[in-house]
Structure 1
Amino acid sequence: MPSRWTDSPLRYGLVTRLLHWGMGALFAWQFTGMGVKLLLGRHPLTAFLVGTHKPIGTLLMLAILLRGAWGLSQWRNRPPHPATLIGRLALAGHAVLYALMFYIPTVALLREYGSGRGFAPWGMPLFPATGEQIGWLMAPANLSHGVLAWTLLALIVGHVLMVALHHVFWRDTTLARMAGRL
């Protein structure tokens, strides 16, 4: 009998679900902060939310690495995608989501390192201040971090809409496998 902590062919385990929904909450925080920045510009709420963007992004990066390692350890146990066109598209969509979730904070961390300002989220020094900028480390994030983050948001919205389609119209167990009992 499978453990409630690990994945099985019928549903995702508690660890996978906690990582999934926890990361969802962190992404919601990140996108809310950037949305408020776009809507309000300079504002005390904007300053607070944007002030948390880098530490929360670092936490997301750690969660992504943990989720990736956990996912690989559970690969053979997970609910399979159907061997249909929709199943293959779902698999491809998830691969793009994971790639963007990894790439976006990675280039942001490289930009922080390349800025020479140092970086200490939650007071824990990750990079020392060197005072020297390294342009080639900053360039990928300067070119792609924002636009790919909004692309990720669009894919997340598509992901949620597809889950709704599965649940409301196709009436299958897709949502229940990740949400637990409904």
Structure 2
Amino acid sequence: MSSPAVPPLPLRDTPDRYGRVTRFLHWGMAALLLWQFIGMVLREILGRTPLVSFFTGSHQMVGTVLFLLTVMRLIWAFANRGNRPAHGEGVLGLGARMGHLALYVVMFTVPAAAILRSYGSERAFSPFGFEIFAARETPITWMVAVGDALHGELGWLMLALIAGHIVMVGLHKAMWRDGTLERMAGRRRG
């Protein structure tokens, strides 16, 4: 006896599960963020070594892609705002909404601070070999200072928020068994 066919995953989000675009953005960004954090943690532990350079040598390029994906993700989330699975009711639902909002704000602000710093610095900003900002003779010190103050510190805050996000997914899976992971990972409950 065969099981009923699972309908194909929709492009857009539905109240029951996230669509292909949301999942691509979520998991693609997760992989790129993992790459960035591996490099930064190794740099903190090992200093500047060839292994660390392997990861951090692409930091600017990967950060640029993450910034663009974050903008796309914000636009896509707005376009799907009435179709997405609910975060739940009560205090837990409010906590989920606030946690996601904090993640979105930090995912946007971290690369934006790096771009601001680059714009104000004496070095050209040329991810992938394409010059976006030319080198300046005199830095714009306030831009560099704001970028320096925010980029790294908020990056570590983002890591803490991501860790909290993962812990909450674990709680949803192990304790509440409400299908939260399945809605994003692609498996259907049943």
Same fold (TM over 0.5): yes
**Which residue of the partner structure matches residue 74 of structure 2?**
68
**Which residue of the partner structure matches residue 85 of structure 1?**
91
**Which residue of the partner structure matches residue 54 of structure 2?**
48
- Counterpart of 2:17, as a letter, is R
Aligned: 1:128 with 2:134: yes
Cα RMSD over matched residues?
1.5
1:83 Cα deviation after fit? 2.1
Q: Map residues 1-182 of structure 1 onto 2, 5 A cutoff.
A: 4-181=10-187
What is the count of residue pairs matched by the alignment? Answer: 182
8 A Cα contact 1:110 1:138, kept in partner: yes
- Counterpart of 1:72, as a letter, is F
- Counterpart of 1:28, as a letter, is L
Q: Summarize the Cα distance change of 1:49–1:15 in structure 2 as closer, same or farther, 3 Å threshold.
A: same
CA distance in 2, matches of 1:51, 1:2: 39
8 A Cα contact 2:9 2:20, kept in partner: no
Larger radius of gyration: 2
Provide the secondary structure at the position in 2 that maps to 1:111: helix
Question: Which string of whole-angstrom CA distances, capped at 9 and with x for unpartnered residues, describes residues 99-139 of structure 1?
Answer: 00011100100101100311111111111122220011111
8 A Cα contact 1:114 1:135, kept in partner: yes
Structure 2, unaligned runs of 5 or more? 1-6
8 A Cα contact 1:2 1:8, kept in partner: no
CA distance in 1, matches of 2:59, 2:8: 38
- Counterpart of 2:39, as a letter, is G
CA distance in 1, matches of 2:8, 2:14: 7
Structure 1, unaligned runs of 5 or more? none
Which is worse superposed, 133-142 or 1-10?
1-10
Provide the secondary structure at the position in 1 that maps to 2:144: helix
- Counterpart of 1:47, as a letter, is S
Counting aligned pairs with the same residue, the percent is: 48
CA distance in 2, matches of 1:115, 1:159: 34
- Counterpart of 1:174, as a letter, is T
CA distance in 2, matches of 1:74, 1:3: 15
Shift >6 Å, 4+ stretches: none
Question: Which string of whole-angstrom CA distances, capped at 9 and with x for unpartnered residues, describes residues 43-66 of structure 1?
Answer: 101122111111110110000000
